[in-house]
């Protein structure tokens, strides 16, 4: 693998906390394929210094924005404390105001 000036490839993990499906345009049934395509394209383009991945974090039983908001806080907090690494940069994608 090619190396940057500092010799490190940066891992970038995109965490989506969008709902799976309950009639909103941002639902993962519509947007998840785009995330996958974007990550694949970004990895090809920036492979010499960035490595992208995506995590789709949702609860299939959520039926309201309030459900999604509550689950998102819990899920992201749990993920942060149990599954993150110090060598990765994290970004979240949300439709929550």
Instruction: Round to whole Å and give the CA distance between 56 and 16.
Output: 5
User: Mind listing the pLDDT tens digit for each residue in 35-75?
Assistant: 999 999 999 999 989 999 999 999 888 888 888 888 888 99
In three-state secondary structure terms, 66 is helix
> Taking a C-beta distance cutoff of 8 angstroms, is the pair 50, 10 a contact?
yes
Q: Which residues contact 92 (CB under 8 A, 6 or more apart)?
A: 14, 15, 16, 17, 76
Closest CA to 55 of 36, 82, 74: 36
User: Mind listing the pLDDT tens digit for each residue in 74-89?
Assistant: 999 999 999 999 989 9
Instruction: Round to whole Å and give the CA distance between 18 and 31.
Output: 9
pTM: 0.81
């Amino acid at each position: 693998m090619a190396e940057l000036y500092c010799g490190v490839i940066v891992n970038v993990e995109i965490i989506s906390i969008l709902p799976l499906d309950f009639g909103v345009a941002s639902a993962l049934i519509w947007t998840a394929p785009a995330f996958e395509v974007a990550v694949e394209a970004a990895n090809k383009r920036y492979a010499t210094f960035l490595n992208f991945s995506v995590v789709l974090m949702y609860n299939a039983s959520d039926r309201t924005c309030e459900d999604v908001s509550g689950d998102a806080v819990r899920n992201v907090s749990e993920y942060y404390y149990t599954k993150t690494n110090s060598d990765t940069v994290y970004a979240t994608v949300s439709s929550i105001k």
